[in-house]
């Protein structure tokens, strides 16, 4: 009969492997424009869409995206400014992952960014360079970087339980995290595609994270 310690050995080895991934993560800080004005815009956005007076979030989910652009620089420039033409908070994600796996941190991890309707109040966003014309072309290096980054985030913020692709935003409503106060405010998304999310889920088995099939 196998001993209890022998049965737990694979779990221990998996945990040690994940810890190695997280500790191996290299993050390049590349901050976008930030000022009291951006914080004002964040508060206005949060009040309008969530009924909350907030700038900081308690991360409970990670939303994975693609940029639909070919270079990290073009996305960085798009995210950089604080305000959209309509006077509201500009879109941005917390992290941007280049095709070679380089991870750029664009904002502090616990501030509200506008990247996923209904979830910005509680979700960290990861953008991946690629997906031009809807092509599912994210790289193996990006997959490795996302695995390491999500492990790092879950270790740092234990309240994170959910990981989903932007295209899975409707399925993720079952998490109970979705809030949207503006009627009809919704968009259809395809990023980052089921191929990437399936691979990510497989690599993060055993992390007590909820993924979605849709």
If the chain, 214 residues long, is cut into consecutive pieces of 10 residues, what is the mean pLDDT of each piece?
Answer: 39 40 84 98 98 98 98 98 97 98 98 98 98 98 98 98 98 98 97 98 97 89
**105, HSE (Cβ side, Cα atoms, 13 Å):** 14
Q: What is the pLDDT of residue 214?
A: 73
Q: Give the position of tokens 């305000």.
A: 83
Q: What is the pLDDT of residue 22?
A: 53
- Check if CATH label 3.30.450.90 holds for domain 4-203: no
pTM (2 decimals)? Answer: 0.89
The values of phi and psi at residue 42, to 5°, are -60, -45
Q: What is the pLDDT of residue 23?
A: 61
CA 158 – CA 160 distance, rounded (Å): 5
Q: What is the pLDDT of residue 2?
A: 39
* Three-state DSSP class for residue 96: strand
Residue 159's nearest CA partner among 108, 91, 94, 109 is 109
CA 44 – CA 182 distance, rounded (Å): 13
């Amino acid at each position: 009969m196998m001993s209890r310690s022998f049965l737990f050995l694979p779990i221990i080895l998996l945990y040690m492997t994940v810890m190695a991934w997280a500790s191996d993560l290299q993050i390049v800080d590349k901050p976008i424009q930030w000022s009291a004005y951006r914080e004002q815009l964040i508060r206005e956005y949060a009040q309008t869409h969530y009924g909350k007076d907030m700038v900081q979030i308690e991360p409970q989910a990670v939303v994975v995206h693609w940029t639909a652009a070919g270079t990290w620089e073009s996305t960085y420039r798009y995210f950089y400014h604080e305000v959209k033409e309509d006077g509201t908070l500009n879109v941005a994600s917390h992290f941007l992952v280049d095709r070679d796996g380089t991870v750029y941190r664009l904002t502090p991890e616990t501030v509200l960014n506008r990247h996923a309707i209904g979830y910005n109040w509680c979700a960290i966003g990861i953008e991946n360079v690629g997906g031009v014309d809807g092509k599912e072309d994210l790289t193996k290096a990006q997959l490795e970087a996302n695995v390491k980054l999500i492990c790092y985030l879950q270790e740092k913020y234990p309240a994170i339980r959910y990981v989903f692709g932007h295209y899975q935003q409707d399925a993720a409503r079952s998490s109970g995290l979705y809030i949207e106060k503006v009627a009809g405010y919704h968009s259809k998304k395809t990023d980052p595609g089921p191929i990437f999310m399936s691979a990510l889920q497989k690599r993060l088995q055993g992390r007590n994270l909820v993924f979605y099939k849709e």
